[in-house]
Amino acid sequence: MPSAIKHDAELSSKGLVTILVEVQGADDARLEHFLWKTFPQNRCFSCTSTGVPLPPSDGIPHAGVIGVDGTLLWAGNPLAEPKKVAELIDQELQKVKKGWGDTADARKVRAALYGKRDLAGAAALVAAMADGDAKAELQAEVDRRYASAKKAVANLQDQGRWLDAQAAARDLLKSVGQKAEWVAEVTPLLAEFDSEQGKAEIAADKKLEKVVKSLREKKLDQAPKALQALLKTTGETKVGARAQKLLKALETPLEND
Amino acid sequence: MLARSFLLPLALTLPLAAQTVGSKVPDHTFPTFLNGDGRQTLAEFFGQPVVIDRWGTH
């Protein structure tokens, strides 16, 4: 765990995604409380689950490294082979940066799409390719990446993370450049943040972020009182629901409390 | 904490399907992430390396 959190802190900006899956049956509230108490600096994607698409194991910790193209590259105890894991991650991050594939076109498109996060640039490179299977495959990757980014904005809003959603929408608008079809779809997403509802959600999220900041500073004991005060002002917002969930988590006892 | 974790029933740590190194990992939808970026499926991470770390809170 600590090594995964450390890797993620160092390498997520270069494209690494680290998913921590709790497999001992904790519910969401227990997991959230445990993470804030034990690993307040954790920024890995973290969830509860009893099933993950990895080979069987006799116990934990157990991890898998999945390459940029979705291939399982390694699985095992991450404490047993830390160097191997680090080398594989570095190898795959080079692919993110430089692109990968059998042709120069594929490498250029993927470097733009995944390395530079430049949807418009990737789309222009694909458009310039000769028609055929290779072009169709890369076009599908560009389309999937765009659809995923757009959906992510809505998901973050639904999860009460409006500041993150706004940042994601701004990044998306920047990434789609001047491509009219995409600009026409992304611009309304950004406009939502200027609506009355959007303003209320953003205002509430700014208050909640102060509580989250205090949690990252290990001020766990102060958070419930701050959340109770916050909930008197958030009304029926998505952010309010998230604050309520966080309060419930922090009130969930851990065995060693 | 880690010592206890090895005593847990295997059922809690079973994978969805047996995968082998070198094979493509099937898509998987995760529960809502803490600290996520709005993406919820493995397929949406295509183009980036993914480390999945199975661990426990007990």
Does the predicted model carry a pTM greater than 0.90? yes
Alpha helices by DSSP H, listed for chain A, are 2-11, 28-38, 82-98, 104-110, 119-127, 133-158, 162-176, 180-191, 196-216, 223-231, 238-251
Q: Does A55 touch chain B (CB under 8 A)?
A: yes
Q: What is the mean pLDDT of residues A209-236?
A: 95
pLDDT in tens, B1-53: 333 333 333 334 444 455 899 999 999 999 999 999 999 999 999 999 999 99
Q: How far is CA A41 from CA A5, A24, A30, A135, A244, in A?
A: 8, 22, 17, 42, 21
All residues of chain A having their beta carbon less than 8 Å from the beta carbon of residue B1 are none
**CB–CB contact B48 A59 (8 Å):** no
pLDDT in tens, A4-30: 999 999 999 999 999 999 999 999 999
Out of A20, A55, A114, name the one closest to residue B55 (CB): A20
CA-based nearest residue in chain A for residue B3: A60
Q: In the 8-state DSSP scheme, what is residue B52? A: E
